[in-house]
Amino acid sequence: MTRAARTAAVIGSGPNGLAAAVTLARAGISVTVFDAADTIGGGTRTAESVMPGVVHDTCSAIHPMAFASAFFREFRLAEKVEFVVPEASYAHPLEGREAAIAYRDLDRTVAELGVDGAAYGRLMRPLVDRAGGVFDFALGGSMVRVPRDPIATVLTGLAAVRQGSPLWNLGFSDEAAPALISGVAAHSIGRMPALGTSAIGLVLAVAGHVGGWPVPVGGSAAISRALADDLLAHGGQIETGRRIRDIAELGDYDVHVFDTSARALTEIAHSKLPGGYLRTLDRFRFGNAAAKVDLVLDGPIPWADARIAQTPTVHLGGTRAEVAEAEGMVARGRHPEHPYVLLAQPTEFDPGRNPAEFNAVWSYTHVPRGSTVDVTERVLAQLERFAPGVRERVIGVKCTPAAELGEYNANYVGGDISSGAVQLGQLLARPVLSPEPWRTPGEGIYLASSAASPGPGVHGLGGWYAARSALKHSFRIDPQSVSLE
């Protein structure tokens, strides 16, 4: 293949699509990114949603993987985007007592958890001490490989088995530490306890105790802008407002990288993919969904525990048993009256994002996939439970039901923001069990989205791995020779 013939189309401009495009462009490939939306970013957009002049992050808001991702480290994202990293990563309020708080300082976390602090430390310290190995195990690519740190892999597996089984309360005698663990594990939108859910929670918790959970100044769109600027600087192009319905529309690109759901890949590229692979993708299961509630307040949230104001992320839901019950109801296709709510409050850490008189609060709760239910009142009730009087501060609110999230972003089928259920089997085979699950049997066709390993999250790794696979197999370029610095 001559250098002039080296072309690639990337379908989707989320962080994975842009990561793939940046990697290919830096290798000298002529890259064009296509996105159906009028703006780039996928899960990293920031826009007005509730009222003019006040912005909210459209999808992701706080970024635990910003410092844990090997792609972002090589890309030096922290030098291109300004982040604020609070001392506390996340909080879990409890009724009638102080909240449980996960600090970057594990010792401080242990000290404040009281009677169960030592047990929490015994669970987390071995993983925090080998954080690099934990991240390599969880984010290092396909599960069909030898981990760099087998001890970290074993420790993570043992901890996930313990927290993903009915023995998850073993060693704990109070509510605070179990609730703290369950709140972060519930990010995965799944039944609890379960192995996949616990594994995701442990990795996110380790990130909280190592690099923290950073807040991007200006909103999540700063991440997509940094990636897009780099792509354009290396000769790439971006076409927005361009929905690709059939691969034939793209002409003669040598490589096609799909930052899409597995379903969209089959719809767009079915003519280029063998029947067996298409049937495998058809069996790939979607998970349940998120419904988003954006709020604008005329001041700070009046938390019953004032320390919660110093955490960028808050998990609302009460005790471990209450969170598990709510998530179990969603798994059974029901809408819990007292749901788990994930809330982000960036104003404290990025006050210049919005006018001083407005406090933009971001939240979502979990619902059955495809739900059209307006969950505003249920979310507000959970917030009022732990911040009495907050309703009086609300001056604007907008609910985006799960079905509308799916319309906003085709990757979120029915509102499944993970582009596929986060279950153990689908973490091992995402979407297929292979040393290179990003490479499809279709010539020059690669899957780069959250539907491929290592799964959901703003980390760019799916795109990076897909691009490196394309460099190796389609362009005969050594991926190790491509610098992202």
Q: According to the model, what pLDDT value does residue 1 have?
A: 41
Q: For the chain, how many residues are written?
A: 485
The torsion angle over the Cα atoms of residues 327, 330, 334 and 335, rounded to 10 degrees, is 70
Structure token pair of residue 383: 């917030």
CATH code at 70-215+288-408: 3.90.660
Overall pTM > 0.85: yes
pLDDT value, residue 410: 93
Q: What is the per-residue pLDDT for 3? A: 42
Nearest residue to 355 (alpha-carbon basis) of 296, 423, 404: 296
pLDDT for residue 5: 62
Domain ranges of the chain: 3-56+219-285+421-481, 70-215+288-408
**Which residue matches tokens 């842009």?**
18
pLDDT for res 2: 42
Minimal CA–CA distance to 228: which of 83, 75, 69?
75
- Region of 336 (left: φ > 0; alpha: ψ -120 to 50; beta: rest) is beta
Run of H or E residues at 336: none
Quick one: pLDDT at residue 412? 97
Same fold, 3-56+219-285+421-481 and 70-215+288-408: no
Element (H, E) at 122: helix 117-129
Beta carbons within 10 angstroms of residue 169's beta carbon? 17
Per-residue pLDDT of the chain (485 residues; tens, 9 = 90+): 444 469 999 999 999 999 999 999 999 999 999 999 999 999 999 999 999 999 999 999 999 999 999 999 999 999 999 999 999 999 999 999 999 999 999 999 999 999 999 999 999 999 999 999 999 999 999 988 999 999 999 999 999 999 999 999 999 999 999 999 999 999 999 999 999 999 999 999 999 999 999 999 999 999 999 999 999 999 999 999 999 999 999 999 999 999 999 999 999 999 999 999 999 999 999 999 999 999 999 999 999 999 999 999 999 999 999 999 999 999 999 999 999 999 999 999 999 999 999 999 999 999 999 999 999 999 999 999 999 999 999 999 999 999 999 999 999 999 999 999 999 999 999 999 999 999 999 999 999 999 999 999 999 999 999 999 999 999 999 999 999 98
User: Token match 């309703």: residue?
Assistant: 391
Residue 377 CB partners (closer than 8 Å, separation 6+):
none
Evaluated on CA atoms 423, 427, 428, 433, the torsion sign reads positive
Closest by CA to 99, choosing from 108, 90, 87, 86, is 90
As given in the structure block, the two tokens for residue 452 are: 């491929």
3-56+219-285+421-481 is a CATH 3.60.21.10 domain: no
